Amino acid sequence: MDRPSSPLPRRRFLHLTGAALGLAATSGCATAGRTRSTGAGLLSAGAATDRTWTPERFDPWIELDRAAWTQNVREAARLASGRPILAVVKNNAYGLGDRAVGPLLAGMPEVGGIASVRVEEALAMREEGVTKPIVVMAEGSEDEIEEMARHDILPSVWLDDAPARLRSVSRRLGRPVPVQLFIDTGMNREGMPYTRARRWIEELVQSEYVDVNGTYTMFIHDLDFNREQLARFEELLAWARGKNLPLGTLHASPSFELFNLPEAHYDMVRPGNALFGNHLSGGEGAGEMADLRPVFRMNARVVRVERLEPGDGAGFRHTFTADRATWVALLPVGRTDGYPSEANGTCEVLINGRLYPVAGGVNSAHTILDIGPEKTVEVGDVATLIGPDHPSVLPHTVAERTGRGFLGIIQFMNPRLPRRVV
């Protein structure tokens, strides 16, 4: 199979990934079916959070900024010279909620498909109305592969017994099983090792029980070794072309390689971090290469405002002691919601355009702010703990100040918090 000399047209990609699945080659994303939406733009992270969101609610919530996601997707597509994007929405969308993020990204024309690493994630996104191709970047049991196939979800395979398991599943279904081949070119974590992949590939491609829909590898994010991995992958692809073994849609580039290894962009690119606004994933100088935006806010309303006199304490063990007359405000959000304990004494919260320091500890479900000598906030005011609205509350700022790292912030967002698309 010859590699295309130009970016793969989106229509052809949808044909490749959708024809065998019986998927419609549509540019939109159906949001009917079992969408968990009870308020304008609200999508809960899971069944346990299926509650009506109202503007007056005091419980914390996560806002997803549609315009920021659109910007990041367009920047990724620009870096990929217009190739379609296989958007990585893994680990519950890195913590931001796959039931919300999956449909949001799938509705964008630059996104040709979605990738996850858990069967349940893929099924959840199907329930929420995602109709575009979904790739699960993980091996599965026969039962899991059958379930994926019945929901038009593409499993990945790399184990030696994949041909036998796919034959068994195909007989149950009465049709070939569309799959993606995961080739390990040196990361040594997942995938069929490239050194013994040839006979395995040949058996799968020639099997009447299998439809090889795509083939991919994963880089280690070190450019020198990445190039060695690329050479190994290219050697395998050349062998397959010589044997007239079609390998379907080729993809290899997550965010780091999207920025730094354009020769590996193949038929489509596979960013995750970059779509979530994490420019650090692109390595040195990535901020100049793409204008990526923060995509979410963590919000809560002030639930208590009280005055402290000099010497009064607040919080467990009085982690804050007033050295002057001051007001303190309580937010009903804490470390179990995903706001790090390390924010105490290091971070600030934005309320009505002003910053207030976290000063009274971050407990399981509460955060205390030092408001100062004037009562400038009221019960019911919206507080943004993390978001795009001020440099001091940017996700990367909070990550740096708390020593957590960007993913260490978003991956711990409580799945019970409602996600609201704005």
pTM of the model: 0.86
- Which has the closest alpha carbon to 267: 252, 279, 251? 251
Instruction: Name the band, by pLDDT with cuts 50, 70 and 90, for residue 32.
Output: very low
Instruction: Name the band, by pLDDT with cuts 50, 70 and 90, for residue 30.
Output: very low
pLDDT at position 47? 35
pLDDT at position 58? 87
Distance CA 169, CA 167 (A): 6
Fold of 296-421: Lyase, Ornithine Decarboxylase; Chain A, domain 1 (2.40.37)
CATH architecture of 10-36+67-284: Alpha-Beta Barrel (3.20)
Report whether pLDDT(239) > 90. yes
Identify which has the larger pLDDT, 72 or 321.
72
Q: What is the mean pLDDT of the chain?
A: 88
pLDDT at position 279? 77
Report whether pLDDT(42) > 80. no
pLDDT at position 3? 36
Whole-number Cα distances in Å, 419 to 37, 39, 314: 10, 11, 31
Instruction: Name the band, by pLDDT with cuts 50, 70 and 90, for residue 41.
Output: low
pLDDT at position 287? 64
pLDDT at position 1? 37
Instruction: Retrieve residue 138's tokens.
Output: 């993980």
Range with top average pLDDT, 64-68, 314-318, 416-420? 64-68
Instruction: Name the band, by pLDDT with cuts 50, 70 and 90, for residue 307.
Output: very high
Residue pair 177/166 in contact (Cβ under 8 Å)? The answer is yes
Whole-number Cα distances in Å, 13 to 24, 35, 191: 12, 26, 23
Amino acid at 273: N
Instruction: Name the band, by pLDDT with cuts 50, 70 and 90, for residue 28.
Output: very low
Q: Report the range of poorest mean pLDDT among 14-23, 48-57, 312-321, 375-384.
A: 14-23
Report whether pLDDT(325) > 50. yes
Distance CA 42, CA 38 (A): 6
- pLDDT tens digits, 162-189: 999 999 999 999 999 999 999 999 999 9
pLDDT at position 347? 98
- Which has the closest alpha carbon to 299: 16, 34, 13, 58? 58
Neighbours of 223 (CB within 10 A): 13
- What is the percent of the chain with per-residue pLDDT over 90, rounded to a whole number? 81
Amino acid at 153: I
The pLDDT of 255-261, averaged and rounded, is 96
The pLDDT of 305-316, averaged and rounded, is 92
The pLDDT of 200-208, averaged and rounded, is 98
For the chain, which residues make up each domain, given as ranges?
10-36+67-284, 296-421
* Cα of 235 vs its chain's centroid, Å: 31
- What is the percent of the chain with per-residue pLDDT over 70, rounded to a whole number? 85
